[in-house]
Amino acid sequence: MFGGWLPLPCITSAWSPRIGDPGVLGWLTVAVYGVTILLCILAALRSGEREQRVFCALLALVLFPLMINKQLDLQTGLTEVARCLAHAQGWYEMRGVVKLWFVAIFGTGLLAAVFLAFFALMPRMARVWPGFLGVACLAGFVLLRAAEIHAFSFDLNDLLYKYGINVALEFGGIALVAAHAIRVLRRSGGQAARSA
């Protein structure tokens, strides 16, 4: 049943890690992610509130893999692994159904995580809403990219790029997370000045 479980020659001939978007916008996006991660780390280190330290550290942890993936395009590698496995294991003809299930399960899990985070953060939402909303926008961006890549290639790509939905979600999400980190840093700076 699992003969040819991981067909490495197929995978390595179809995909290898390389810079996915060598253009200015690709590197600008990576730089914006990096600056925002640094802001989150600084906010986590400087905040006098334990909850904000933990929340900002979690924000940095969420953004880091997105930054790495922005240029390494790991989802394309995952797609190639699945394609090679489908050929090797004989379910290539059913790939459309598998892709649909993948996106449905991935999307449901992502949405559930956002809703759980919302309910967990509800008592503190007044203090963390920019960061939470930023992560929710990034989750929407990731979900749209998964749907675009894995299952619903019918004009979704054109729709996302034509109207800039993907760029708005990604840059808007990063900007909201950065705004949250800056807000925490300002608050912690004000607290330090008052206590001095």
pLDDT tier for residue 1 given thresholds of 50, 70 and 90: very low
What SS3 class is residue 123?
Answer: helix
Spatial distance between the Cα atoms of 169 and 42, rounded to a whole number of angstroms = 24
Tokens found for residue 113: 């995580």
CB-CB contact of 66 with 30 (8 Å) = no
Question: How many Å is the maximal CA-CA distance in the chain?
Answer: 69
Band of pLDDT at residue 19, cut at 50, 70 and 90: confident
Question: Residue 170 above 60 pLDDT?
Answer: yes
- The tens digit of pLDDT for each residue in 181-195 reads 999 999 988 665 555
Give pLDDT tens digits for 94-105.
888 888 888 889
State both tokens at 152: 């619903």
Residue 3 confidence class, pLDDT cut points 50, 70, 90 = very low
Q: What is the pLDDT of residues 22-46, one digit of tens each?
A: 889 889 999 999 999 999 999 999 9
**pTM, full prediction:** 0.84
pLDDT (tens digit per residue) in 38-77: 999 999 999 999 999 999 999 999 999 999 998 887 887 7
Q: State the Cα torsion 134-136-142-147 to the nearest 10°.
A: -140
Distance CA 59, CA 39 (A): 10
Nearest to 70 by CA among 166, 6, 162: 166
Helices 50-72, 125-150: inter-axial angle, 10-degree rounding: 20
Please, which pLDDT band fits residue 175 given cuts at 50, 70 and 90? very high
78 or 119, higher pLDDT: 119
When pLDDT is cut at 50, 70 and 90, the band that residue 87 belongs to is confident
Tokens of 43: 């906010």
Q: How far is CA 79 from the centre of its chain?
A: 17
Contact by Cβ (8 Å): 165, 159? yes
